[in-house]
């Protein structure tokens, strides 16, 4: 993967997150009422170009990979904890948006710190009703550092199991990581995608891992540029920031950073810092065992 694609993948995630943030938990919009630029407000009263937990966890994971030059589960969970409890890797110095499954995993990890128990980092619950999209939304760092498809899948599995242990979460993480690494939809996973001619109102975009994966790929497969892809994705509403983050990863990987309009880069909160993370991550060689 060349540097333009790596940067596009990483920055695309944050851009989709920020575009969708004001639309989180809202109903889907019709094309004539689409939000097409960063906005303010929403359930977290975001500022212009402000992003949410998707990007915070992405930066925490990226930070660990850059520093440790290996997948250090303990260090990654410590950094997730720093975001969760101390507001690091965040725009506001406090965690203001978090999914239920991630909350449960980090709360469990936090309790082990308080009680000085063994800090076992893998906290993902295995029941199907915990199959949220919180591992997919932070997939960019492990794909960017991977040297081949097998490594992308292995690292995707490891980072997923930290907070999401259900069979569905594992399955969708494997598919998404493999496709992101290759930069295209893979035919063997076609049955997990929506038909291009599906009615727009039938595209679901809640926090369920299956819905987010489907909505993001639908937005990409029915558009022909980065801007239209992320706009179409986030305007399905509901878990709009995460649908946007996934669509931004797919489109950013395909079109590259050079294919992302300047508006989305220039007005993204902390763009320079996120770009620096992406650049350092692109040069990081992760140890394999």
DSSP string, the chain: --HHHHHHHHHHHHHHHHHHGGGTTSPP--GGG---S---BTTTTBPTT---HHHHHHHHHHHHHHHHSS--HHHHHHHHHHHHHH-TTSSSSS-----HHHHHHHHHHHHHHHTT--------B-SGGG-BSTTGGG-HHHHHH-SSHHHHHHHHHHHHHTTB-SHHHHHHHHHHHHHHHHTS--GGGGGGS--TTS-GGG---SSBHHHHHHHHHHHHHT-SSHHHHHHHHHTT-SSHHHHHHHHHHHHHHHH-GGGS-HHHHHTSTTHHHHHHHHHHHHTPPPP--
The predicted pLDDT at position 112 comes to 83
Task: Identify whether 268 is part of a domain.
Answer: yes
Measured CA angle at 132 (ends 131, 137), to 5 deg? 135
- Looking at residues 65-93, what average pLDDT do you find? 97
Task: Identify whether 288 is part of a domain.
Answer: no
Tokens of 32: 């004539």
Task: Identify whether 20 is part of a domain.
Answer: yes
pLDDT tens string 236-289: 999 999 999 999 999 999 999 999 999 999 999 999 999 999 999 999 999 876
What CATH number does the domain containing 7 carry? 1.10.4080.10
| pTM for the structure as a whole | 0.97
Tokens of 289: 């065992």
Task: Identify whether 177 is part of a domain.
Answer: yes
CA 33 to chain centre: 25
Task: Identify whether 110 is part of a domain.
Answer: yes
Task: Identify whether 168 is part of a domain.
Answer: yes
**Is residue 160 scored above 70 in pLDDT?**
yes
pLDDT band at 114 (very low <50, low <70, confident <90, very high): confident
Return phi, psi of residue 46, to 5°.
-70, 150
Instruction: Give the closest residue to 287 by CA, choosing from 124, 8, 64.
Output: 64
Environment class of residue 114 by beta-carbon count within 10 Å: exposed (0-12), middle (13-18) or buried (19+)? exposed
The answer to whether the CB of 25 falls within 8 A of the CB of 269 is: no
**Is residue 86 scored above 80 in pLDDT?**
yes
pLDDT band at 111 (very low <50, low <70, confident <90, very high): confident
Task: Identify whether 233 is part of a domain.
Answer: yes
- Looking at residues 112-130, what average pLDDT do you find? 86
CA 196 to chain centre: 23
Distance between CA atoms of residues 42 and 50, nearest Å: 11
Distance between CA atoms of residues 61 and 55, nearest Å: 10
The answer to whether the CB of 234 falls within 8 A of the CB of 16 is: yes
Which residue range is the domain that position 176 belongs to? 3-282
Instruction: Give the closest residue to 97 by CA, choosing from 125, 55, 60.
Output: 55
pLDDT tens string 20-40: 999 999 999 999 999 999 999
Domain count, the chain: 1
């Amino acid at each position: 993967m060349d540097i333009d694609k790596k940067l596009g993948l990483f920055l695309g995630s944050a851009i989709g997150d920020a575009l969708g943030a004001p639309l989180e938990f809202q109903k889907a919009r019709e094309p004539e009422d689409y939000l097409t630029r960063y906005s303010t407000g929403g359930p977290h009263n975001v500022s212009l170009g402000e992003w949410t937990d998707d990007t915070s966890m992405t930066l925490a994971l990226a930070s660990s990979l850059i520093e440790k030059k290996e997948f250090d589960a303990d260090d990654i969970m410590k950094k997730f904890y720093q975001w969760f409890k101390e507001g690091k890797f965040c725009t506001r110095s406090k965690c203001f948006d978090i999914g239920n499954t991630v909350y449960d995993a980090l709360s469990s990890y936090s309790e082990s710190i308080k009680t000085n128990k063994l800090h076992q980092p893998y906290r993902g619950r295995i029941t199907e009703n915990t199959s949220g999209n919180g591992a997919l939304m932070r997939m960019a760092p492990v794909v960017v550092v991977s040297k081949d498809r097998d490594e992308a899948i292995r690292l995707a599995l490891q980072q997923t199991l930290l907070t999401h242990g259900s069979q569905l979460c594992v399955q969708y993480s494997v598919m998404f990581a493999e496709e992101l690494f290759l930069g295209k939809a893979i035919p063997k996973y076609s049955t997990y995608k929506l038909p291009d001619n599906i009615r727009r109102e039938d595209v679901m975009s809640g926090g369920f891992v299956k819905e987010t994966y489907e909505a993001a790929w639908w937005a990409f497969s029915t558009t022909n540029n980065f801007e239209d892809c992320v706009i179409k994705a986030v305007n399905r509403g509901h878990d709009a920031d995460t649908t946007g983050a996934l669509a931004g990863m797919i489109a950013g990987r395909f079109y590259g950073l050079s294919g992302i309009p300047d508006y989305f880069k220039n007005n993204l909160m902390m763009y320079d810092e996120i770009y620096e993370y992406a650049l350092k991550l692109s040069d990081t060689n992760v140890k394999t065992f």
